[in-house]
Structure 1
Amino acid sequence: MARILVVEDEDNIAMALEFLLARDGHAHSRLSQGGAAVAAIRAERPDLVLLDVMLPDMSGYEIVELLRADPGMSDVRILLMTARGSIVERRRGLALGADGFIAKPFELSELRAEMMRLLA
């Protein structure tokens, strides 16, 4: 069973993700602020972070940069999620060190496949 942190400020999306994770048997928690997420990731070291790009206090890109600048956090897998799923956004996220990128709205099967790839 994987430990997954959901960092998403939109309640409806977060609830759908939490339902999926619970149904698939993953331990999970949720935060809606980027600053709190950085501290939680450092403290909890989840197996996977589902990270929204557009957060109220800092962007998902900034979080990826902070975590990838810390050698002790290099093994934490990060899947960026954004409603702006352009090629430019995807390239930026992956160049900063995200392990995966998924555009919202996404199919649950697409999300599941990407999570399985990152947790393998």
Structure 2
Amino acid sequence: MSASPKVSTRRSACTYARRPTKADRDRIGRFGGERAFEAHVREQLPWYELASDAAALVAKHDIPKGGLVYDIGCSTGKVGRSLAGVLEERQARLIALDECADVVRAYQAPGTAICADAATFD
């Protein structure tokens, strides 16, 4: 009889491929703030920087003068910080949405951060 396979309890990047639930996102507060949360995200999602920078690079080309930009699932503002120069140059506004109140409180980027569900935000 062979031994049963070992099961890892360590979370992998694949764990986060699904859309996080409100309970998942509310756990952010226990990380001890923005820096700890950002470090956790980078550990769990090694491609986080690349994906955030790519999103900002694409968005930069489509922001019109006086435009309105939404950052859905803004987290602590990585994409907003990347867009800061373009937003200022084009006098565009940014509205950052996230379901987690702790993340909205930790948001540090241009624009207005709002705690809301993007699917029902009006």
Q: TM-score, normalised by structure 2?
A: 0.42
Q: TM-score, normalised by structure 1?
A: 0.42
| Greater strand content | 1
